[in-house]
Chains A and B, each alone.
Chain A
Amino acid sequence: MMQKINRPNLKFSPLQIVQISAVVFAILLTLILWIFFTEPLSQSLSPFWNDKLIDVLVFIPAVGAALAATLLTRQFEKEEIPYHIWQAFAIGLWFWVAGEISGMIYDAIYWDTVYPDLRLTDMFWLLGYFFLGLSLFYQLRLVYGAQNSKSRRLYLGLFTLALLITAWLTNLAEKAGLGEGSAWIILFITVLYPVFDLTEGATAIWLSFLFGRGQWSRPWLGLILFALSDSVNTFYWLGGYDFISIMAQDVLNFLSVASYPASYMVAGLALLSNYFILRYGEDSGLIKVTKQNR
Protein backbone atom coordinates (compact mmCIF):
# COMPACT_ATOMS: atom_id res chain seq x y z
CA MET A 1 0.00 0.00 0.00
CA MET A 2 1.09 3.53 -0.68
CA GLN A 3 2.36 5.39 2.35
CA LYS A 4 1.14 8.89 3.04
CA ILE A 5 3.73 11.60 2.77
CA ASN A 6 3.90 14.00 5.71
CA ARG A 7 2.83 17.48 4.72
CA PRO A 8 5.47 20.04 5.73
CA ASN A 9 4.40 21.86 8.88
CA LEU A 10 7.27 24.32 8.80
CA LYS A 11 7.58 28.08 8.92
CA PHE A 12 9.53 27.91 5.67
CA SER A 13 8.95 25.44 2.87
CA PRO A 14 11.66 22.78 2.31
CA LEU A 15 12.64 24.57 -0.89
CA GLN A 16 13.04 27.84 1.01
CA ILE A 17 15.08 26.12 3.72
CA VAL A 18 17.46 24.75 1.09
CA GLN A 19 17.68 28.17 -0.55
CA ILE A 20 18.30 29.94 2.78
CA SER A 21 20.94 27.34 3.71
CA ALA A 22 22.66 27.92 0.36
CA VAL A 23 22.74 31.68 0.98
CA VAL A 24 24.04 31.17 4.55
CA PHE A 25 26.75 28.82 3.25
CA ALA A 26 27.75 31.32 0.55
CA ILE A 27 28.12 34.02 3.22
CA LEU A 28 30.07 31.63 5.46
CA LEU A 29 32.40 30.71 2.61
CA THR A 30 33.06 34.36 1.81
CA LEU A 31 33.72 35.04 5.48
CA ILE A 32 36.12 32.08 5.75
CA LEU A 33 38.09 33.27 2.72
CA TRP A 34 38.19 36.85 3.99
CA ILE A 35 39.39 35.78 7.45
CA PHE A 36 41.98 33.43 5.94
CA PHE A 37 43.48 35.95 3.57
CA THR A 38 43.19 39.18 5.64
CA GLU A 39 43.73 37.64 9.11
CA PRO A 40 41.72 40.31 10.96
CA LEU A 41 42.13 38.63 14.36
CA SER A 42 45.84 37.92 14.05
CA GLN A 43 46.77 41.47 14.90
CA SER A 44 43.97 42.40 17.27
CA LEU A 45 44.06 39.11 19.24
CA SER A 46 46.44 36.42 18.00
CA PRO A 47 46.92 34.08 15.00
CA PHE A 48 45.48 31.30 17.17
CA TRP A 49 42.09 33.04 17.40
CA ASN A 50 42.12 33.83 13.70
CA ASP A 51 42.69 30.13 12.99
CA LYS A 52 40.04 29.05 15.51
CA LEU A 53 37.49 31.39 14.03
CA ILE A 54 37.98 29.69 10.66
CA ASP A 55 37.74 26.28 12.34
CA VAL A 56 34.45 27.23 13.96
CA LEU A 57 33.06 28.55 10.68
CA VAL A 58 34.09 25.31 8.91
CA PHE A 59 32.61 23.28 11.75
CA ILE A 60 29.10 24.64 11.02
CA PRO A 61 28.72 23.11 7.52
CA ALA A 62 30.55 19.97 8.70
CA VAL A 63 27.93 19.36 11.41
CA GLY A 64 25.17 20.40 9.00
CA ALA A 65 26.28 17.83 6.42
CA ALA A 66 26.55 15.05 9.02
CA LEU A 67 23.10 15.92 10.40
CA ALA A 68 21.55 15.99 6.92
CA ALA A 69 23.13 12.61 6.12
CA THR A 70 21.70 11.16 9.34
CA LEU A 71 18.24 12.53 8.57
CA LEU A 72 18.44 11.14 5.05
CA THR A 73 19.48 7.70 6.33
CA ARG A 74 16.45 7.61 8.62
CA GLN A 75 14.14 8.00 5.63
CA PHE A 76 14.99 4.47 4.51
CA GLU A 77 13.96 1.15 6.01
CA LYS A 78 16.87 -0.83 7.42
CA GLU A 79 16.39 -3.62 4.90
CA GLU A 80 16.67 -1.21 1.97
CA ILE A 81 20.05 -1.05 0.24
CA PRO A 82 20.23 2.79 0.11
CA TYR A 83 19.94 2.78 3.92
CA HIS A 84 23.38 1.19 4.15
CA ILE A 85 24.86 3.62 1.62
CA TRP A 86 23.71 6.71 3.49
CA GLN A 87 24.33 5.23 6.92
CA ALA A 88 27.99 4.68 6.01
CA PHE A 89 28.11 8.18 4.51
CA ALA A 90 26.65 9.70 7.70
CA ILE A 91 29.05 7.77 9.95
CA GLY A 92 31.96 8.90 7.79
CA LEU A 93 30.89 12.53 8.09
CA TRP A 94 30.42 12.25 11.86
CA PHE A 95 33.97 10.90 12.14
CA TRP A 96 35.15 13.93 10.20
CA VAL A 97 33.18 16.18 12.56
CA ALA A 98 35.01 14.42 15.41
CA GLY A 99 38.24 15.08 13.49
CA GLU A 100 37.38 18.79 13.31
CA ILE A 101 36.67 18.94 17.06
CA SER A 102 39.78 17.02 18.06
CA GLY A 103 41.83 19.23 15.73
CA MET A 104 40.59 22.30 17.58
CA ILE A 105 41.37 20.69 20.94
CA TYR A 106 44.89 19.74 19.83
CA ASP A 107 45.41 23.33 18.63
CA ALA A 108 44.27 24.66 21.99
CA ILE A 109 46.70 22.38 23.82
CA TYR A 110 49.71 22.34 21.53
CA TRP A 111 49.52 25.63 19.58
CA ASP A 112 52.70 27.00 21.12
CA THR A 113 54.49 23.67 21.53
CA VAL A 114 55.23 20.56 19.47
CA TYR A 115 52.26 18.45 18.41
CA PRO A 116 52.45 14.71 19.19
CA ASP A 117 53.33 12.52 16.20
CA LEU A 118 50.31 10.27 16.57
CA ARG A 119 47.08 12.16 17.04
CA LEU A 120 43.50 11.12 17.69
CA THR A 121 42.56 13.48 14.88
CA ASP A 122 44.23 11.20 12.34
CA MET A 123 42.26 8.24 13.61
CA PHE A 124 39.00 10.16 13.18
CA TRP A 125 39.94 11.31 9.68
CA LEU A 126 40.97 7.83 8.61
CA LEU A 127 37.84 6.24 10.07
CA GLY A 128 35.87 8.88 8.19
CA TYR A 129 37.62 7.84 4.98
CA PHE A 130 36.89 4.20 5.75
CA PHE A 131 33.14 4.75 6.09
CA LEU A 132 32.87 7.18 3.20
CA GLY A 133 34.74 4.62 1.11
CA LEU A 134 32.30 1.96 2.30
CA SER A 135 29.43 4.20 1.22
CA LEU A 136 30.99 4.62 -2.23
CA PHE A 137 31.55 0.89 -2.42
CA TYR A 138 27.90 0.12 -1.55
CA GLN A 139 26.71 2.63 -4.13
CA LEU A 140 28.90 1.20 -6.88
CA ARG A 141 27.90 -2.33 -6.00
CA LEU A 142 24.23 -1.34 -6.21
CA VAL A 143 24.69 0.43 -9.52
CA TYR A 144 26.45 -2.53 -11.08
CA GLY A 145 23.95 -4.95 -9.59
CA ALA A 146 26.51 -7.16 -7.87
CA GLN A 147 24.60 -8.29 -4.80
CA ASN A 148 26.25 -10.78 -2.51
CA SER A 149 26.75 -11.33 1.16
CA LYS A 150 30.54 -11.30 0.82
CA SER A 151 30.64 -7.63 -0.16
CA ARG A 152 31.91 -6.39 3.22
CA ARG A 153 34.76 -8.87 3.07
CA LEU A 154 35.48 -7.70 -0.45
CA TYR A 155 35.55 -4.11 0.75
CA LEU A 156 37.89 -5.02 3.61
CA GLY A 157 40.10 -6.77 1.07
CA LEU A 158 40.23 -3.66 -1.11
CA PHE A 159 40.89 -1.51 1.96
CA THR A 160 43.79 -3.77 2.95
CA LEU A 161 45.12 -3.52 -0.60
CA ALA A 162 45.03 0.29 -0.31
CA LEU A 163 47.01 0.03 2.95
CA LEU A 164 49.61 -2.21 1.28
CA ILE A 165 49.97 0.19 -1.64
CA THR A 166 50.34 3.02 0.87
CA ALA A 167 53.05 1.08 2.70
CA TRP A 168 54.92 0.63 -0.58
CA LEU A 169 54.53 4.33 -1.41
CA THR A 170 55.70 5.21 2.11
CA ASN A 171 58.94 3.30 1.52
CA LEU A 172 59.38 5.13 -1.79
CA ALA A 173 58.73 8.48 -0.08
CA GLU A 174 61.21 7.61 2.69
CA LYS A 175 63.88 6.79 0.10
CA ALA A 176 63.14 10.09 -1.68
CA GLY A 177 63.82 11.95 1.56
CA LEU A 178 60.26 13.07 2.18
CA GLY A 179 59.13 13.46 5.81
CA GLU A 180 62.69 13.49 7.07
CA GLY A 181 62.94 12.95 10.81
CA SER A 182 59.46 11.46 11.08
CA ALA A 183 58.75 7.91 12.19
CA TRP A 184 57.72 5.45 9.45
CA ILE A 185 54.16 5.23 10.80
CA ILE A 186 53.78 9.00 10.68
CA LEU A 187 54.99 9.06 7.09
CA PHE A 188 52.63 6.16 6.36
CA ILE A 189 49.64 8.10 7.71
CA THR A 190 50.73 11.18 5.76
CA VAL A 191 50.84 9.13 2.54
CA LEU A 192 47.56 7.43 3.39
CA TYR A 193 45.62 10.70 3.02
CA PRO A 194 46.45 11.30 -0.66
CA VAL A 195 45.91 7.61 -1.42
CA PHE A 196 42.43 7.76 0.10
CA ASP A 197 41.77 11.14 -1.50
CA LEU A 198 42.75 9.83 -4.90
CA THR A 199 40.75 6.60 -4.58
CA GLU A 200 37.63 8.17 -3.13
CA GLY A 201 37.83 11.26 -5.30
CA ALA A 202 38.15 9.13 -8.44
CA THR A 203 35.29 6.87 -7.33
CA ALA A 204 33.13 9.89 -6.55
CA ILE A 205 33.88 11.35 -9.98
CA TRP A 206 32.96 8.02 -11.55
CA LEU A 207 29.67 7.96 -9.63
CA SER A 208 28.96 11.55 -10.60
CA PHE A 209 29.40 10.63 -14.25
CA LEU A 210 27.11 7.65 -13.79
CA PHE A 211 24.41 9.68 -12.06
CA GLY A 212 24.90 12.58 -14.46
CA ARG A 213 22.59 15.43 -13.63
CA GLY A 214 20.44 13.24 -11.38
CA GLN A 215 19.52 14.50 -7.94
CA TRP A 216 21.23 11.51 -6.34
CA SER A 217 24.63 12.42 -7.80
CA ARG A 218 25.03 15.59 -5.78
CA PRO A 219 26.26 14.34 -2.39
CA TRP A 220 29.20 12.74 -4.19
CA LEU A 221 30.24 16.15 -5.52
CA GLY A 222 31.18 17.08 -1.94
CA LEU A 223 33.71 14.25 -1.83
CA ILE A 224 35.22 15.42 -5.12
CA LEU A 225 35.72 18.92 -3.68
CA PHE A 226 37.28 17.43 -0.58
CA ALA A 227 39.73 15.44 -2.69
CA LEU A 228 40.55 18.60 -4.65
CA SER A 229 41.30 20.49 -1.45
CA ASP A 230 43.52 17.73 -0.11
CA SER A 231 45.33 17.26 -3.39
CA VAL A 232 46.61 20.85 -3.14
CA ASN A 233 47.96 20.08 0.34
CA THR A 234 49.61 16.92 -0.99
CA PHE A 235 51.14 18.87 -3.86
CA TYR A 236 52.53 21.35 -1.32
CA TRP A 237 53.85 18.53 0.88
CA LEU A 238 55.60 16.91 -2.08
CA GLY A 239 57.38 20.19 -2.70
CA GLY A 240 55.40 21.13 -5.77
CA TYR A 241 55.21 24.77 -4.68
CA ASP A 242 58.93 25.10 -5.40
CA PHE A 243 58.24 24.70 -9.10
CA ILE A 244 55.35 27.13 -9.58
CA SER A 245 55.04 30.90 -9.51
CA ILE A 246 53.78 32.88 -6.52
CA MET A 247 50.62 33.69 -8.44
CA ALA A 248 49.95 30.00 -9.13
CA GLN A 249 50.61 29.26 -5.46
CA ASP A 250 48.01 31.88 -4.50
CA VAL A 251 45.49 30.34 -6.86
CA LEU A 252 46.10 26.88 -5.36
CA ASN A 253 45.87 28.29 -1.84
CA PHE A 254 42.58 29.92 -2.69
CA LEU A 255 41.29 26.67 -4.25
CA SER A 256 42.32 24.66 -1.23
CA VAL A 257 40.86 27.05 1.34
CA ALA A 258 37.61 27.46 -0.58
CA SER A 259 37.02 23.84 -1.61
CA TYR A 260 37.48 22.42 1.90
CA PRO A 261 34.45 24.09 3.54
CA ALA A 262 32.63 24.02 0.18
CA SER A 263 32.87 20.22 0.19
CA TYR A 264 30.84 20.06 3.41
CA MET A 265 28.45 22.70 2.09
CA VAL A 266 27.78 20.99 -1.23
CA ALA A 267 27.35 17.58 0.40
CA GLY A 268 25.17 19.08 3.13
CA LEU A 269 22.86 20.92 0.75
CA ALA A 270 22.53 17.87 -1.51
CA LEU A 271 21.80 15.59 1.43
CA LEU A 272 19.31 18.09 2.85
CA SER A 273 17.50 18.35 -0.52
CA ASN A 274 17.34 14.57 -0.80
CA TYR A 275 16.06 14.32 2.76
CA PHE A 276 13.30 16.84 2.05
CA ILE A 277 12.34 15.05 -1.16
CA LEU A 278 12.00 11.76 0.69
CA ARG A 279 10.31 13.28 3.73
CA TYR A 280 7.82 15.58 2.02
CA GLY A 281 7.70 14.19 -1.52
CA GLU A 282 5.98 16.41 -4.06
CA ASP A 283 5.17 18.95 -1.32
CA SER A 284 8.86 19.67 -0.80
CA GLY A 285 8.80 21.84 -3.92
CA LEU A 286 12.09 20.26 -4.92
CA ILE A 287 10.72 18.00 -7.66
CA LYS A 288 8.63 18.71 -10.72
CA VAL A 289 5.14 17.24 -10.73
CA THR A 290 2.13 17.50 -13.01
CA LYS A 291 -0.43 19.89 -11.61
CA GLN A 292 -3.77 18.37 -12.56
CA ASN A 293 -6.04 16.97 -9.83
CA ARG A 294 -3.58 17.58 -7.03
Chain B
Amino acid sequence: MRYFFREIEDIPFDNSPVSAEVYFRGANATGMIEKQFSADRVAVQFFISGVPGMAYLLDAGQSNSISLTDFSSLSDGVSHTRAINLPDVAGRLLLLALESQVTNRFTITTNGDWAEQINRWKQEQLNGLVEIKSQNLHGFALFWQGEPQKSDLIFSTLLGFVNNFPKLDSAWEAIVYSHPVVAQAYQCTVLRQGAVHWCHKVLTRYQEMVGQKLLQMMNRELNRQMQPWRWNIVIDENDMLETHFFPYIMDAAHAYRALFMAMGAQMNFVIGNNLTQKLLNETFEQIRPDERVSLQSQRLIPAAFSE
Protein backbone atom coordinates (compact mmCIF):
# COMPACT_ATOMS: atom_id res chain seq x y z
CA MET B 1 0.00 0.00 0.00
CA ARG B 2 1.10 3.50 -0.69
CA TYR B 3 0.00 6.73 0.90
CA PHE B 4 1.67 9.75 -0.75
CA PHE B 5 2.23 10.11 -4.49
CA ARG B 6 0.95 6.58 -5.07
CA GLU B 7 1.50 6.73 -8.81
CA ILE B 8 5.26 7.14 -8.48
CA GLU B 9 7.41 4.05 -8.81
CA ASP B 10 9.23 2.98 -5.66
CA ILE B 11 13.01 2.98 -5.69
CA PRO B 12 13.74 -0.77 -5.88
CA PHE B 13 15.13 -1.84 -2.48
CA ASP B 14 15.00 -4.79 -0.18
CA ASN B 15 12.22 -3.07 1.77
CA SER B 16 14.82 -1.66 4.14
CA PRO B 17 14.91 2.01 5.19
CA VAL B 18 18.64 1.68 5.75
CA SER B 19 19.44 0.91 2.12
CA ALA B 20 17.09 3.71 1.07
CA GLU B 21 19.00 6.10 3.31
CA VAL B 22 22.29 4.96 1.79
CA TYR B 23 20.84 5.64 -1.66
CA PHE B 24 19.59 9.15 -0.81
CA ARG B 25 22.83 10.10 0.87
CA GLY B 26 24.96 8.71 -1.95
CA ALA B 27 22.97 10.33 -4.73
CA ASN B 28 22.41 13.61 -2.88
CA ALA B 29 18.81 12.98 -3.82
CA THR B 30 15.59 14.44 -2.48
CA GLY B 31 12.90 12.01 -1.57
CA MET B 32 11.08 10.28 1.24
CA ILE B 33 10.81 6.99 3.06
CA GLU B 34 7.26 5.99 3.86
CA LYS B 35 6.37 3.38 6.47
CA GLN B 36 2.80 2.24 6.13
CA PHE B 37 1.04 0.78 9.17
CA SER B 38 -2.56 0.84 8.04
CA ALA B 39 -4.77 2.70 5.58
CA ASP B 40 -4.75 5.86 7.73
CA ARG B 41 -1.51 5.51 9.68
CA VAL B 42 1.79 6.26 8.05
CA ALA B 43 5.21 7.61 9.00
CA VAL B 44 7.31 9.68 6.64
CA GLN B 45 10.94 10.81 6.67
CA PHE B 46 12.32 13.35 4.22
CA PHE B 47 15.74 13.37 2.60
CA ILE B 48 16.67 16.74 1.19
CA SER B 49 19.56 16.75 -1.25
CA GLY B 50 20.87 13.62 0.44
CA VAL B 51 20.56 14.99 3.97
CA PRO B 52 18.07 13.36 6.37
CA GLY B 53 15.36 15.90 7.12
CA MET B 54 12.37 15.85 9.37
CA ALA B 55 9.99 12.96 10.10
CA TYR B 56 6.24 12.85 10.75
CA LEU B 57 3.69 10.38 11.95
CA LEU B 58 0.31 10.74 10.30
CA ASP B 59 -2.52 9.11 12.18
CA ALA B 60 -6.17 9.47 11.18
CA GLY B 61 -5.47 12.67 9.31
CA GLN B 62 -3.46 14.24 12.16
CA SER B 63 0.26 14.65 11.61
CA ASN B 64 2.83 15.00 14.35
CA SER B 65 6.51 15.71 14.08
CA ILE B 66 8.69 12.87 15.37
CA SER B 67 12.43 12.58 15.80
CA LEU B 68 14.56 10.74 13.27
CA THR B 69 15.42 8.18 15.97
CA ASP B 70 11.73 7.58 16.59
CA PHE B 71 11.20 7.14 12.87
CA SER B 72 14.04 4.60 12.68
CA SER B 73 12.70 2.68 15.60
CA LEU B 74 9.19 2.41 14.13
CA SER B 75 9.05 -1.16 12.96
CA ASP B 76 6.20 -2.88 14.77
CA GLY B 77 3.17 -3.18 12.57
CA VAL B 78 4.83 -1.75 9.47
CA SER B 79 3.10 -3.42 6.56
CA HIS B 80 5.11 -1.80 3.83
CA THR B 81 8.14 0.45 3.50
CA ARG B 82 8.81 2.38 0.34
CA ALA B 83 11.20 5.07 -0.82
CA ILE B 84 10.59 7.45 -3.71
CA ASN B 85 12.45 10.29 -5.30
CA LEU B 86 10.68 13.61 -5.01
CA PRO B 87 11.03 16.78 -7.02
CA ASP B 88 11.84 19.67 -4.67
CA VAL B 89 8.40 21.20 -5.17
CA ALA B 90 6.67 17.95 -4.19
CA GLY B 91 8.88 17.72 -1.12
CA ARG B 92 8.23 21.24 0.09
CA LEU B 93 4.47 21.05 -0.50
CA LEU B 94 4.19 17.70 1.26
CA LEU B 95 6.14 19.11 4.18
CA LEU B 96 3.80 22.11 4.28
CA ALA B 97 0.81 19.74 4.33
CA LEU B 98 2.30 17.72 7.18
CA GLU B 99 2.84 20.87 9.23
CA SER B 100 -0.69 22.15 8.62
CA GLN B 101 -4.25 21.34 9.63
CA VAL B 102 -7.08 20.22 7.45
CA THR B 103 -9.85 22.82 7.42
CA ASN B 104 -12.07 21.56 4.66
CA ARG B 105 -12.52 18.38 2.70
CA PHE B 106 -14.92 17.91 -0.22
CA THR B 107 -15.38 16.08 -3.49
CA ILE B 108 -15.24 17.55 -6.98
CA THR B 109 -16.99 15.53 -9.65
CA THR B 110 -17.28 17.79 -12.66
CA ASN B 111 -15.13 20.32 -14.48
CA GLY B 112 -17.82 22.90 -13.78
CA ASP B 113 -17.56 22.30 -10.03
CA TRP B 114 -13.79 22.67 -10.23
CA ALA B 115 -13.97 25.94 -12.18
CA GLU B 116 -16.52 27.25 -9.70
CA GLN B 117 -14.30 26.26 -6.77
CA ILE B 118 -11.26 27.96 -8.33
CA ASN B 119 -13.33 31.14 -8.75
CA ARG B 120 -14.48 30.93 -5.16
CA TRP B 121 -10.88 30.70 -3.93
CA LYS B 122 -9.98 33.62 -6.16
CA GLN B 123 -12.74 35.72 -4.59
CA GLU B 124 -11.75 34.62 -1.09
CA GLN B 125 -8.10 35.44 -1.89
CA LEU B 126 -7.16 32.04 -0.49
CA ASN B 127 -3.63 31.76 0.87
CA GLY B 128 -3.09 28.11 1.45
CA LEU B 129 -2.40 24.62 0.29
CA VAL B 130 -4.90 22.41 -1.48
CA GLU B 131 -4.33 18.66 -1.74
CA ILE B 132 -6.06 16.72 -4.48
CA LYS B 133 -6.46 12.96 -4.57
CA SER B 134 -8.18 10.67 -7.01
CA GLN B 135 -7.82 7.14 -8.23
CA ASN B 136 -4.84 7.93 -10.44
CA LEU B 137 -3.71 11.23 -9.06
CA HIS B 138 -2.23 12.81 -5.99
CA GLY B 139 -0.78 16.23 -5.59
CA PHE B 140 -0.73 19.69 -4.13
CA ALA B 141 -1.34 23.22 -5.31
CA LEU B 142 -0.44 26.33 -3.36
CA PHE B 143 -2.90 29.18 -3.73
CA TRP B 144 -1.68 32.70 -3.00
CA GLN B 145 -4.04 35.63 -3.10
CA GLY B 146 -6.52 33.21 -4.62
CA GLU B 147 -4.24 32.31 -7.52
CA PRO B 148 -2.63 28.90 -8.00
CA GLN B 149 1.16 29.38 -7.97
CA LYS B 150 2.79 27.85 -11.03
CA SER B 151 6.01 27.08 -9.19
CA ASP B 152 4.12 25.42 -6.33
CA LEU B 153 1.89 23.02 -8.14
CA ILE B 154 2.67 19.33 -8.55
CA PHE B 155 0.77 16.13 -9.17
CA SER B 156 1.84 12.54 -9.39
CA THR B 157 0.08 10.82 -12.27
CA LEU B 158 0.53 7.57 -14.12
CA LEU B 159 2.91 9.50 -16.39
CA GLY B 160 4.99 10.70 -13.45
CA PHE B 161 5.08 14.13 -11.85
CA VAL B 162 3.39 16.98 -13.71
CA ASN B 163 3.48 20.69 -12.91
CA ASN B 164 -0.03 21.67 -13.96
CA PHE B 165 -3.57 20.71 -13.09
CA PRO B 166 -4.39 17.36 -14.71
CA LYS B 167 -7.71 16.78 -16.43
CA LEU B 168 -10.50 15.71 -14.15
CA ASP B 169 -11.15 12.10 -15.20
CA SER B 170 -12.69 10.79 -12.00
CA ALA B 171 -13.94 12.28 -8.74
CA TRP B 172 -11.34 14.38 -6.93
CA GLU B 173 -11.08 14.61 -3.20
CA ALA B 174 -9.94 18.13 -2.33
CA ILE B 175 -8.41 18.92 1.06
CA VAL B 176 -7.82 22.51 2.08
CA TYR B 177 -5.22 23.22 4.74
CA SER B 178 -4.78 26.07 7.15
CA HIS B 179 -1.28 26.92 8.29
CA PRO B 180 -0.10 27.79 11.77
CA VAL B 181 2.08 30.89 11.44
CA VAL B 182 4.77 29.26 13.57
CA ALA B 183 5.14 26.29 11.21
CA GLN B 184 8.59 26.32 9.61
CA ALA B 185 7.22 25.19 6.22
CA TYR B 186 4.64 27.97 6.22
CA GLN B 187 7.24 30.57 7.19
CA CYS B 188 9.40 29.31 4.31
CA THR B 189 6.40 29.65 1.99
CA VAL B 190 5.66 33.24 3.00
CA LEU B 191 9.34 34.14 2.77
CA ARG B 192 9.58 32.52 -0.66
CA GLN B 193 6.49 34.37 -1.89
CA GLY B 194 7.94 37.61 -0.55
CA ALA B 195 11.31 37.04 -2.18
CA VAL B 196 9.75 36.01 -5.50
CA HIS B 197 7.41 39.00 -5.58
CA TRP B 198 10.06 41.50 -4.51
CA CYS B 199 12.49 40.09 -7.05
CA HIS B 200 9.86 40.40 -9.80
CA LYS B 201 9.22 44.03 -8.94
CA VAL B 202 12.94 44.84 -8.74
CA LEU B 203 13.68 43.21 -12.09
CA THR B 204 10.69 44.87 -13.78
CA ARG B 205 11.69 48.32 -12.53
CA TYR B 206 15.34 47.75 -13.40
CA GLN B 207 14.38 46.72 -16.92
CA GLU B 208 12.25 49.85 -17.22
CA MET B 209 15.24 51.97 -16.24
CA VAL B 210 18.03 50.36 -18.23
CA GLY B 211 16.34 48.24 -20.88
CA GLN B 212 16.11 44.58 -21.75
CA LYS B 213 19.76 43.97 -22.62
CA LEU B 214 21.19 45.10 -19.30
CA LEU B 215 18.51 43.12 -17.49
CA GLN B 216 19.52 40.00 -19.40
CA MET B 217 23.15 40.68 -18.60
CA MET B 218 22.31 40.92 -14.91
CA ASN B 219 20.22 37.74 -15.09
CA ARG B 220 23.10 35.81 -16.66
CA GLU B 221 25.43 37.04 -13.93
CA LEU B 222 22.98 36.16 -11.15
CA ASN B 223 22.42 32.68 -12.56
CA ARG B 224 26.18 32.21 -12.83
CA GLN B 225 26.71 33.28 -9.25
CA MET B 226 24.03 30.91 -7.96
CA GLN B 227 25.28 27.91 -9.93
CA PRO B 228 27.87 26.65 -7.39
CA TRP B 229 25.23 26.56 -4.67
CA ARG B 230 23.07 24.10 -6.65
CA TRP B 231 19.90 25.90 -5.65
CA ASN B 232 16.95 25.29 -7.92
CA ILE B 233 16.56 29.00 -8.46
CA VAL B 234 16.69 30.55 -11.91
CA ILE B 235 16.28 34.17 -12.88
CA ASP B 236 14.45 34.39 -16.17
CA GLU B 237 13.44 37.74 -17.66
CA ASN B 238 11.58 39.54 -14.83
CA ASP B 239 10.95 36.48 -12.70
CA MET B 240 12.66 34.39 -10.09
CA LEU B 241 11.72 30.76 -10.66
CA GLU B 242 12.21 29.30 -7.21
CA THR B 243 11.66 25.55 -7.03
CA HIS B 244 14.16 24.64 -4.34
CA PHE B 245 13.24 22.65 -1.25
CA PHE B 246 14.55 24.68 1.67
CA PRO B 247 13.49 22.81 4.81
CA TYR B 248 14.53 25.59 7.15
CA ILE B 249 13.84 29.28 6.87
CA MET B 250 17.48 30.13 7.58
CA ASP B 251 18.61 28.17 4.50
CA ALA B 252 16.07 29.95 2.32
CA ALA B 253 17.01 33.34 3.75
CA HIS B 254 20.68 32.60 3.05
CA ALA B 255 19.93 31.86 -0.60
CA TYR B 256 17.72 34.92 -1.09
CA ARG B 257 20.30 37.10 0.65
CA ALA B 258 23.00 35.92 -1.73
CA LEU B 259 20.72 36.57 -4.67
CA PHE B 260 19.66 40.07 -3.61
CA MET B 261 23.23 40.98 -2.73
CA ALA B 262 24.42 39.97 -6.19
CA MET B 263 21.50 41.87 -7.68
CA GLY B 264 22.32 44.97 -5.64
CA ALA B 265 25.97 44.84 -6.69
CA GLN B 266 25.06 44.53 -10.37
CA MET B 267 22.55 47.36 -10.24
CA ASN B 268 24.98 49.48 -8.27
CA PHE B 269 27.51 49.17 -11.09
CA VAL B 270 25.02 50.41 -13.68
CA ILE B 271 22.70 52.87 -11.95
CA GLY B 272 24.76 53.68 -8.87
CA ASN B 273 24.17 53.37 -5.18
CA ASN B 274 21.48 56.02 -4.70
CA LEU B 275 19.23 54.78 -7.44
CA THR B 276 19.73 51.15 -6.43
CA GLN B 277 18.68 52.07 -2.91
CA LYS B 278 15.70 54.02 -4.22
CA LEU B 279 14.65 51.18 -6.50
CA LEU B 280 14.91 48.58 -3.73
CA ASN B 281 13.01 50.79 -1.28
CA GLU B 282 10.21 51.59 -3.70
CA THR B 283 9.71 47.99 -4.79
CA PHE B 284 9.91 46.70 -1.20
CA GLU B 285 7.01 48.97 -0.29
CA GLN B 286 4.94 47.46 -3.09
CA ILE B 287 4.87 43.89 -1.80
CA ARG B 288 2.20 42.51 0.56
CA PRO B 289 2.64 43.49 4.21
CA ASP B 290 2.86 39.88 5.48
CA GLU B 291 5.52 39.06 2.89
CA ARG B 292 7.38 42.24 3.80
CA VAL B 293 7.31 41.33 7.50
CA SER B 294 8.66 37.89 6.67
CA LEU B 295 11.53 39.37 4.64
CA GLN B 296 12.25 41.89 7.38
CA SER B 297 12.37 39.13 9.99
CA GLN B 298 15.29 37.63 8.05
CA ARG B 299 16.97 41.00 7.52
CA LEU B 300 16.17 40.81 3.82
CA ILE B 301 15.68 44.55 3.56
CA PRO B 302 16.68 47.18 0.97
CA ALA B 303 19.42 48.66 3.15
CA ALA B 304 21.20 45.31 3.20
CA PHE B 305 21.62 45.13 -0.56
CA SER B 306 23.04 48.47 -1.63
CA GLU B 307 26.43 49.83 -0.70
Contacts and interface: CB of A to CB of B under 8 A. Distances in A.
Interface of A: 2-3, 5, 75-77, 80-83, 142-143, 145, 209-217, 277-278, 281-282, 287-290, 292-294
Contacts of B210: 82, 216
Q: Which of B268, B271, B273, B282 has the most CB of A within 10 A?
A: B271
Q: Report the interface size class on chain B.
A: 20 to 34
Q: Top 5 nearest A-B pairs by Cβ distance?
A: A214-B272, A212-B272, A211-B272, A214-B271, A212-B273
Given A82-B210, A281-B213, A294 B272 contact: no
A81 B215 CA distance: 14
B275 A214 contact: yes
Interface string B197-217: 000000000001111111011
18 contacts: A3-B216, A76-B211, A76-B212, A80-B212, A82-B209, A83-B211, A143-B275, A211-B272, A211-B275, A214-B268, A214-B271, A215-B270, A216-B270, A216-B272, A277-B214, A281-B217, A292-B224, A292-B227
B213 A213 contact: no
Contacts of A288: 269
A122 B224 CA distance: 52
B274 interface: yes
B212 A77 contact: yes
B227 A217 contact: no
Interface of B: 208-214, 216-217, 219-221, 224-225, 227-228, 236, 268-276, 278, 282
A290 B221 contact: yes
Name the residue among A216, A217, A293 with the largest chain B CB count within 10 angstroms.
A216
B225 A290 contact: yes
Nearest to A77: B212
A80 B221 contact: no
Is the contact region of chain B dominated by helix, strand, or loop, or is it mixed?
A: helix
Nearest to A289: B221
Contact of B217 (A83, A214, A287): A287
Contact of B275 (A76, A83, A210, A287): A210
A256 B216 CA distance: 41
Given A3-B216, A213-B272, 13 more contacts: A3-B213, A77-B211, A80-B212, A81-B208, A81-B209, A142-B208, A143-B275, A210-B278, A212-B275, A216-B270, A278-B211, A278-B214, A282-B220
A contacts with B: majority SS: loop
Contacts of A76: 211-213
A82 B217 CA distance: 16
Nearest to A145: B282
A212 B282 CA distance: 18
Contacts of B217: 5, 277, 281-282, 287
A36 B292 CA distance: 61
A5 B215 CA distance: 13
B221 to A, nearest CB: 6
Contacts of B269: 214-215, 287-288
A237 B210 CA distance: 40
B224 A290 contact: yes
Contact of A278 (B213, B272, B275): B213
A56 to B, nearest CB: 35
Contacts of B227: 292-293
B274 A211 contact: yes
Nearest to B306: A212
